[in-house]
Structure 1
Amino acid sequence: MPCALVGRVAAALGNGTFWAVGAVVATAAAGPAASTRATGVMVGGITLANIVGVPLGTAAGQLGGWQAPFWMLAALAVAAAVVVARQLPADTTRTDTSLRAETAALKHPRLWLVYLAIALIQAGIMGAYSYVAPLLTERAHLASAVVPLAMLGFGIGALAGTTVGGRLGDRRPYTTLIPATAVTAAILGAITLWATNSVVAVVLVVLLGAAGFANNPIVVGEVVRIAGAGRSLPMALATSAFQVGIAAGSWLGGIALTSSLGLKGPSLTGFAFALAALLPLGLLAASHRKTESARS
C-alpha cells in the first residue's frame, strides 16, 4: 500500500508537470489565433485515452494480471518521451520564464475568475459523473453489464464536445462558454428530475459529456490569452483548478448521495456547481466585451 500511494503521488507530479508545459508548448506552436484549438487537441487526447485506454487497460489486467496495464503504460510513456525529445524544438518561445515574470502573470484578476470557473465547471460535471453507476443501475434500472457502454457514450460525447469547443473558442469564447455551461446545468437538472428511465438516463449522460467538456479547451485558452503565451505557472494553476474541482465535486457529490437526497444528490450537487459557474463567466464576458470595445 505505501508503494502504491507513493506511485500515485509521483504519477500526479508527472501528470501536472506534463499538462502545464505541454499546454504552453502546444499554444506557442499554434500561435495566439489558434491557442484554444491547440488546447482542444490536447484535451481531446486525454478524452480519447479514457475512451480507448480504460477498456484496453481493463482487458490487459484481466489477461496478464493487475500489473500488466502499469507495465504497458510505462513502456508507452518511455516511447512517447523519446518521440517528444526528438521532435520538439529546443526553444519554442522567447518568453521570460523567471520566477518573477511567472508570478507577475498571476496578478491579473481575470485569471483568478477563470480558475474559479474551471473549478466550478469540473465540480459540476464530476459531482454527478463520479456516481453515474448507481444512478444508472439503481435509479434508471439499467443492467450493470450495460453501464460501461453508457460510460463509453459519455466519453464519445466528451470527445465531440472538446472538438467543437476547441474550434469555436478562438473566435467566440464567451458566446460558447456561457451557453455550454448553461446547457450543462440544464442537463444536470434534467438528470435530477427525469433520469428514472434507462434510455433517458443514458442520453442525458452522453449529453453531459458533450456539453461539459466543450468548456475545457476554451477556459484553458483564456488562461493563455490573459496570462500571455509561454507562461508555465499560470498553466500549472489551471491544471490545479481542474483537480480541485474534480475533488470537490466528487466529495460533495458523495456526501449528497448518502444524505436524504439519495440518488438525486450527486446530480443536484453538480447542478448547483454548474449554475454557480455562470457568475464568474458572466463577469469575464463583461470584461472581455469592455476590452474589445476599447480596442475598437
Structure 2
Amino acid sequence: MPLALLALAISAFGIGTTEFVMMGLLPNVANDLHTSIPTTGYLVSAYALGVVIGAPLLAALTTRMPRKTVLISLMGLFTIGNTFSALAPSYGWLFAGRVLAGLPHGAFFGVGAVVAAGMVDRERRARAVSMMMVGLTVANIIGVPIGTLVGQSLGWRATFLAVGAIGLAAMAGIAVLVPRLPATQSAGLRHELSAFRSGQVWLALSTTVFGFAAVFAVYSYITPLLTDVAGFGDSSVTLVLALFGVGATIGNLLGGRLADRALRTALIGGLAALTAVLGLFTVAAHAEWSAAVMVVLLGVVAFTTASPLMMMVMEKAPHAPSLASSANQAAFNLANAGGAWLGGLVIARGFGYTAPAVAGALLAVSGLAIAVTAGLLERRAPESSRIVAAGVAHAEQDSVGVA
C-alpha cells in the first residue's frame, strides 16, 4: 500500500479523536463553563451538525480544485476549528468552534476515499479506503482515552490544542507523502448533482443511514448497559470500550478485503451479521464476559460494513464520487443522531437498557432489506446500462491517478 495512506490515516485519527472525545470531557467542560451536563451534551450534536452541513457543501465548492490542495485545506480548517474550540471564552463560542471543526469532516473522508482508491489498482480500492479509515477506529482505542485523560489532568482546552497539533502533523504528512493529483474532470456542479437522480445512489445512502443507525442505537447507551445490566464497574468501562475500538479496527480491515472480492456480497453479509449480533446482545448483555465479547463483535460487524458502504456510493455515482462519498459521510452522522434518538426513546418508554439492541436489530434488518432490494434492481437493469456504468467508473478510476 502507498505510504501516502499513512498521512490520510493520521488525518482520520485526528478527526475521530475530536469527534468522540467530547463524550469523555462533558463533566470537565460543564464545570468550567458553568453549564449542565445535558446542555454540554449539545456540543456533541454541534459537531455532527457541522458534518451534515459541510460534507456536501465543501465537496461541491472544491470539486474543481486539485485534490491534494483540497485535503490540505480541509485539514487546515479542521485545525482552526479545534484551536478555536480550545480558546473559546464561553459556551456559545465553543459551540461555534465544534460546528467549525465538524465542517471538513465529511468532505475530507469523501475526497480522501477517492484519493486512496485512485492510488492503487482497481482490485485493491476498498482495502486502500479501509487503510485510511483505520485512523478513525484507532482513535477509539488510543486517541479518545488519552484525550480524555489529558483533559481531566490538564483541562479540556489542552485536549483540543493537542488535536489541533495532530491536524498540523496531518497537513505536513499530506504535503510530503500524497502525490500531486489532478482535479476531478468535472463538467460542473450541476452535472455532478445529477448523480443524485440515480435511485441506486439513494438506496446506497439509505443503507448507510439504517445500517449505522443500528450501531449507534446501542453504542450511544453502551455505558449504562455495561454498568447496570452486565455489572461492570465504572472503572472497567473505558477498557471495554477500547475493546470496541479493537473490534472496529479488525472489522474495518476485513471489510476492505471482502469488498474488493465481492462488494455487494460483503455489504449484505455484513448487515446480516450485524443483525445477528444485535439480536444476541439482548441475551449476552447479562454477564460480564459475554457482554465484553459482544462489544468486540459489535465493533467487528459494524465496521465490516463501513468500507463497502463507502465504495458502494462511489461506484453508483461514477461522475461525482467525491460529492457522493461526502454525502455518505453526512448519512453516517444522520445515522448517529437517528440511532441515538431511537435508542433513547425505547429506554424512556421503560423497556430497559437492552431495548436499544432490539431497536438496532430492526434498523439493521431495514438496512439489509434496502441493500438486497438495490441488488435485485441492479440485476434487472438493462445490460447496456450496466456496461456504460462500468465504463464510466473505469474512466473515473483513471482520472484520479497521479498527475
Give the TM-score taking structure 2 as reference length: 0.70
Q: 1:38-69, CA deviations, whole angstroms, 9 ceiling, x for partnerless residues?
A: 22112221111221101111222233221111
1:30 aligns to what SS in structure 2?
Answer: coil
Matched, 1:10 2:100: yes
CA contact (8 A) 1:157 1:209 kept: yes
* Aligned mate of 1:65, from 148, 155, 160: 155
Matched, 1:260 2:350: yes
1:261 aligns to what SS in structure 2?
Answer: coil
Q: Equivalent residue for 2:372?
A: 282
Q: Equivalent residue for 2:230?
A: 140
Percent of aligned pairs with the same amino acid: 34
Q: Equivalent residue for 1:167?
A: 257
CA distance in 1 between partners of 2:182 and 2:376 (Å): 33
Distance 1:163 1:288, change over 3 A: farther
> Is there any run of 5+ residues in structure 1 with no aligned partner, and where?
none
Offset at residue 291 of structure 1 (A): 6.1
> Which 10-residue stretch deviates more, 121-130 or 180-189?
180-189
CA distance in 2 between partners of 1:293 and 1:210 (Å): 36
1:130-279 to structure 2, matched below 5 A, reads: 130-228=220-318, 231-279=321-369
Letter in 2 for 1:219: L
Offset at residue 158 of structure 1 (A): 0.7
Offset at residue 190 of structure 1 (A): 1.2
Offset at residue 94 of structure 1 (A): 4.6
Letter in 2 for 1:58: T
Structure of higher RCO (CA pairs closer than 8 Å, 6+ residues apart): 1
CA contact (8 A) 2:217 2:343 kept: yes
Letter in 1 for 2:227: T
CA distance in 2 between partners of 1:250 and 1:107 (Å): 29
Give the TM-score taking structure 1 as reference length: 0.93
Letter in 2 for 1:177: L
Q: Equivalent residue for 1:39?
A: 129
RMSD: 2.0
Give the ranges of 4+ consecutive aligned residues of structure 1 lying more than 4 Å apart after TM superposition.
288-296
Distance 1:292 1:210, change over 3 A: farther
Q: 1:236-285, CA deviations, whole angstroms, 9 ceiling, x for partnerless residues?
A: 11111101011100111011111121212211111111111111110122
CA distance in 2 between partners of 1:25 and 1:97 (Å): 19
Q: 1:92-118, CA deviations, whole angstroms, 9 ceiling, x for partnerless residues?
A: 455216202211222221111010000
> Is there any run of 5+ residues in structure 2 with no aligned partner, and where?
1-90, 388-403
CA contact (8 A) 2:313 2:321 kept: no
CA contact (8 A) 1:180 1:214 kept: yes
CA distance in 1 between partners of 2:131 and 2:320 (Å): 18
1:263 aligns to what SS in structure 2?
Answer: coil
